[in-house]
Amino acid sequence: MQGRLHRNLRRTRLTTAPTLQHLRIAVIGGSLGGLSAACLLRDAGHDVVVYERSPIELEQRGAGIGFLKASYRYLVERAGLNLDEISVTTENIRYLARNDDIAHESQHPYRFSSWNTVYERLLAAFDRDRYLLDAHATEFTPVPDGIRVTFEDGNDIDVDLVVAADGIRSTARTQFLPNTRSTYAGYVAWRGTVAESQLPVSVAQRLGDAITYHVFANSHILVYPIPALDGSVAPGERLINFVWYRNYLEQGDLDDLMTDRAGEYRSISVPPGLVARHHIDEMRSTAAARLPNTIATAVNAVTDPFLQVVYDIEVPRMRFGRVCLIGDAAFAVRPHAAAGTAKAAEDGWVLDRHLQSHDSIDDALDAWERDQLHLGSSLLERTRMIGARSQYDNNWVPGDPDLIFGLHSPGDKEPT
């Protein structure tokens, strides 16, 4: 079914001028940002197909995410899901000192989910027959009243609009902004999860009701609960997720860290089970030596930690004719505001709103680009500032309101 649909869609050519009520839209990239945009645009009456380059459905087994409103809005408002069944709530922000005492605690609610939980729910809300795998878009060419998308296998399609949600390695961004490069932030996120049931009860309870930080010289770590792999959010059945930011010199140290067990260099991430064992041993030893015992116990209970390099990407434009860049394809922001997923979703919400409120695609995309360039650049600036405070300047102050998660501003209320 999927193969026949794919061939039929690729043979189709534009024959009439599009209307804003029924556009043919190709979403390039089927991760969270692409799926959010696809669902919204499909709901608005457009003919939407998602093209995902991976040959299999996506999975990130160890990724927890901060769950801001833009990230969960579609699932709650359109898909009708119960927010408490797809996320975990914490009520406090807690900092532990090196001796494991509480150094600071303040009341502030957060929600957390897992990448897998959100992806599976968004994919279920979309039409799987229109979510095409093993479809690697390689080129985008303007045609009258539209854009032609060429795929790696040589086939192509003509559509009215391309939404490029193809991530930090975006093919669309590379084509239209060949001089825009990712910039290494100077540090890497060590990440991992462990089941609450595998931790000492005292540790699981202490880490299960808060987002817990430890900040020390040129580094910081945060720990929080997320849904289990089966989606359970019941205390005792959840996962404890950690993210630990550590500095590595570019090239030598970083290249060695990002060379996996098989000797393959990976520029963006090393998945669970492939991080070189000597680096895991070093990480565990440093955790035991430098982290509070509660946090070190959780970190060292993780079987397969993984790595993600922190990069910045900033673009001067997000719209190129009938192609628009969303999510990490445009601005890759540091994780410190917990807003990367929310920003990608918000790009889709604002695009949908402008397409519904304008009479021409060009006017809609121009207005959308103005809004989202401002959001992307301001969020990137804020996350750079937060990262510098912990990793270089050593002036991170527990309880500072500027450190609160948020998309538009610290602790903001995203627009409805």
User: 76-110: per-residue pLDDT in tens?
Assistant: 999 999 999 999 999 999 999 999 999 999 999 99
Q: Going by DSSP bridges, is the β-strand pair 88-96/210-216 parallel, antiparallel, or unpaired?
A: parallel
Question: pTM to 2 decimals?
Answer: 0.93
Query: Model confidence at 224, in pLDDT bands (50, 70, 90)?
Result: very high
The yes-or-no verdict on residue 61 having pLDDT over 60 is no
Q: Could you tell me the residue ranges of all domains in the chain?
A: 2-59+118-182+313-395, 64-116+185-311
**How many CB atoms neighbour CB 252 within 10 A?**
9
10: left (phi over 0), alpha (psi -120 to 50) or beta: alpha
Sign of torsion, CA 72 77 78 83? positive
**How many CB atoms neighbour CB 269 within 10 A?**
19
Q: Which of 53-57, 119-123, 187-191, 386-390 has the least mean pLDDT? A: 53-57
- Where does 64-116+185-311 sit in CATH, by number? 3.30.9.60
Domain 2-59+118-182+313-395 has CATH 3.40.50.150: no
pLDDT over 70, % of the chain: 94
The yes-or-no verdict on residue 15 having pLDDT over 60 is no
Three-state DSSP at 211 gives strand
227: left (phi over 0), alpha (psi -120 to 50) or beta: beta
Strands, E, within 258-374: which ranges?
269-270, 306-312, 319-320, 323-325
| Segment 119-124 mean pLDDT | 95
Any residues with CB less than 8 A from the CB of 243 and at least 6 apart, and which?
64, 189, 190, 191, 221, 222, 223, 335
Query: Model confidence at 62, in pLDDT bands (50, 70, 90)?
Result: low
| Segment 324-347 mean pLDDT | 97
Distance CA 391, CA 394 (A): 7
